[in-house]
């Protein structure tokens, strides 16, 4: 799809939707796998459209297109509470610390530990908005053992305390 214009993307999306419907209706062998892949492509086109067509500027999107970095990001997403260190992240990627740190920063646009911290904050924000869990429980879920560290980190990230964020998101 390299070099396609916006008009072409909408045509490609129409084709993908048509193919999705056809696969869902016909249920031929392998249909579920094909449906999954077509849905993934459609999702990526939607992300591309939201990024204004320049996916190179969206760090996490570039990260998921790099096999080693994508695997590491998936591990962080799956277990944000793990006490991630640069050494542990590099081991997960089967790379040296310096090579991993350099590659991650070049691909994603931020350091691996900054990415981990930001992911934890985004996860905490989602939990604050969607659950009644206590702030202490959410802090633990996203990897903060200290009652003082999480509110400080969250306030720095969101510009307000976790409780105020939860209250504001409910209005």
Q: Which are the contacts of 25, defined by CB distance < 8 A and separation ≥ 6?
A: none
0.75 exceeded by the pTM? no
Mean pLDDT of the chain: 86
- CB count within 10 Å of CB 153 equals 19
Q: What is the pLDDT of residues 96-133, one digit of tens each?
A: 999 999 999 999 999 999 999 999 999 999 999 999 99
* DSSP codes of every residue in 15-73: HHHHHHHHHHHH--TTHHHHHHHHHHHHHHHHHHHHTTT-GGG-HHHHHHTSHHHHHHH
pLDDT band for position 7 (cuts 50, 70, 90): low
Residues 107, 59 contacting (CB under 8 angstroms):
yes
The DSSP 8-state label assigned to residue 131 in this structure reads -
Q: Which are the contacts of 112, defined by CB distance < 8 A and separation ≥ 6?
A: 72, 84, 86, 89, 100, 101, 104, 105
Q: Is the pLDDT of residue 3 over 50?
A: no
């Amino acid at each position: 799809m390299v070099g396609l214009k916006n008009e072409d993307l909408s045509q490609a999306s129409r084709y993908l939707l048509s193919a999705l419907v056809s696969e869902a209706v016909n249920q031929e062998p392998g249909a579920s796998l094909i449906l999954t892949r077509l849905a993934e492509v459609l999702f990526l086109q939607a992300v591309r459209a939201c990024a204004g067509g320049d996916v190179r500027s969206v760090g996490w999107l570039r990260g998921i297109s790099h096999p080693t970095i994508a695997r590491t990001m998936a591990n962080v997403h799956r277990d944000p509470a793990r006490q991630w260190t640069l050494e542990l992240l590099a081991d997960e990627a089967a790379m040296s610390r310096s090579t991993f740190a350099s590659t991650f920063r070049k691909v994603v646009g931020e350091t691996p530990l900054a990415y981990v911290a930001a992911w934890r904050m985004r996860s905490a924000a989602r939990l604050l908005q969607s659950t009644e869990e206590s702030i202490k429980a959410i802090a633990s879920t996203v990897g903060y053992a200290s009652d003082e560290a999480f509110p400080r980190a969250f306030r720095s990230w969101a510009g307000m305390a976790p409780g105020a964020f939860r209250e504001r998101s409910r209005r």
